[in-house]
Amino acid sequence: MNKFLRCTLAAAAALLVAGGAAADVNVGVSISLTGAGSGLGIPENNAFKLWPATIAGEKVNLIILDDATDPGKAVVNARRFVTEDKVDLILGGSVTPTTAAMAPIAAETKTPQVTLAPVGVPPDQERWVFRLPQSFAVMAHPIVEHMKKHGVKTVGFFGYTDGYGELWLKDFSAQAEKAGLKVVISERFARNDTSATPQALKLVAANPDAILIAASGSAAAMPHKALIERGYKGKIYQTHGAATPDLVRIGGKDVEGSYLVSGPAVMAEQLPDSHPSKKAATDFVTSFEKAYGPGTRNQFAGHAYDARIVLEKILPVALQKGKPGTPEFRAALRDAMENMGRTVVAHGVMLWTPTDHGGYTNETGVMLKVVDGKFVVEK
C-alpha cells in the first residue's frame, strides 16, 4: 500500500470517527451520590450503570456528576453540562431542591430537563421540564381513598419544610377536603434535621385519626419513630418518597403496620396480571436484582430505568428533525416528549401532554402495608 493511499484511508477513518462522535447523544446526569439524598442518588446511579451503550440505535453518553444534595452544586453541574459538555438532555436531580435549582438553566438554554424528583417550577421554566416521578396529586389519590375506606376523618401532616413538603401538603389537602377529610394540624422539619421531637409532641397531642409523613429516603424513618416513641396510636402513612428498604431498616418495629403509597415498579410480583405496568416493572426488577442481588430493587432506581424507556420512544422522532448537539435536536426532544402519548413504564402509565409535563393516570399508585418488615400490596 503506497503512502498516499495509507494517508487517504487514515483521513477517511478519522472523518468516520469524528462523524460518529458528532452524532452521539449526550445526557448530563446530576444526582445525589453524597449528602442527605444519597439514599436516592446511589440506587439511581446503579440503574444508570445498566443502561445499554446505544438506545434506539444511537450511542448515548451519560455524564454523571454528584451534586452532594446541594442546590448550589446542582447549579454548577447544570452549567457545566450546557457550556462544556454540550448536552442534549439533563437528567436530575434526586431531590426536589436540587431539581428546582437546575430548572432555570434548562429553560434559559432551551435544554430539556427530565427530573428524577417531583418539582414545581414557574410557568416560564415549565416548557422545558418533564417529571418522571408521579405527581403528588396522582399519588395522594390512593392515600385519600385508603383513608376513607378505613374510617379516617381527621389527619395530621408531618413534612419537609422544602418544596417536597409544600407540594404534598397542597395536593393532599385539596383531595382530602373533597373527600370529607380534615387536616387538623401541620408540622414541618428540615431535610437534614436529626430530631423532630417538638413537632411530634404537638401532633400526638392533637391526636388525629391518621398522620401523613411527607419525607423521602432514609430520612423518612426519623419522624415516624418520633411519633411512635411519643405514644401515637393512630394510623401512619408515608409518601412514595419513603418506599425504600431504608424505611424498614432504620424504622424497625416502629414502622410495622404503617401504610405508604408507591409506584408499581418495586412490587412487580404482587401486581395483578391486569396491571398495565406488570411487564415493565418485572423487567426492571429482574435486571436490577440480577446485577445487585435480591431485595435491592428501589423505586428511585425505577425512575432511572424509566428514563431509558422515554429515550427509546423519543429519540427516533427527534432524530428526524435535528442532529444531536444542536438547538433543533433539543427542541425536537422536548416536542417529542410532549406528544409521545400514553407510555407504560415500570412506575405506571405516563401521559405527558403540551399542558401537563408530569401526567400519570390514577391507575399508577399502589398502596402498601409494612407486614413483618416487608412491603405488602394492600388488596
Q: Residue 224 domain-assigned?
A: yes
Q: Residue 215 domain-assigned?
A: yes
pLDDT of residue 70: 97
Q: How far apart are CA 355 and CA 130, in angstroms?
A: 11
Higher-confidence residue: 17 or 173? 173
Look over the chain and give the mean of its residue pLDDT values, rounded to a whole number.
91
pLDDT of residue 299: 86
Task: Give yes or no: residues 110 and 29 share one domain.
Answer: yes
Q: What does the pLDDT average to over 45-72?
A: 96
**Could you give the 3-state DSSP secondary structure of residue 268?**
helix
CA nearest to 111, candidates 135, 85, 137, 132: 85
Name the phi and psi angles at 179, rounded to 5. Answer: -90, 0
Q: Residue 358 domain-assigned?
A: no
Task: Give yes or no: residues 7 and 83 share one domain.
Answer: yes
pLDDT digits (tens, 9 = 90+) for 17-26: 434 444 799 9
**pLDDT of 266 over the 90 cut:** no
Parent domain of 224: 136-262
**pLDDT of 9 over the 70 cut:** no
Domain count, the chain: 2
Q: Residue 97 domain-assigned?
A: yes
pLDDT of residue 192: 87
Contact 213, 220 (CB under 8 A): yes
Contact 79, 31 (CB under 8 A): no
Q: What does the pLDDT average to over 343-350?
A: 94
pLDDT of residue 361: 80
CATH of the domain at 205: 3.40.50.2300
pLDDT of residue 217: 81
Q: Residue 289 domain-assigned?
A: no
pLDDT digits (tens, 9 = 90+) for 175-199: 999 999 999 999 999 988 999 999 9
Q: How many other CB atoms are there within 10 angstroms of residue 364's CB atom?
A: 27
User: For residue 99, which amino acid is it?
Assistant: T
Q: What does the pLDDT average to over 118-147?
A: 93
Q: Residue 140 domain-assigned?
A: yes
Q: Residue 346 domain-assigned?
A: yes
Give me the percent of the chain exceeding a pLDDT of 70.
94
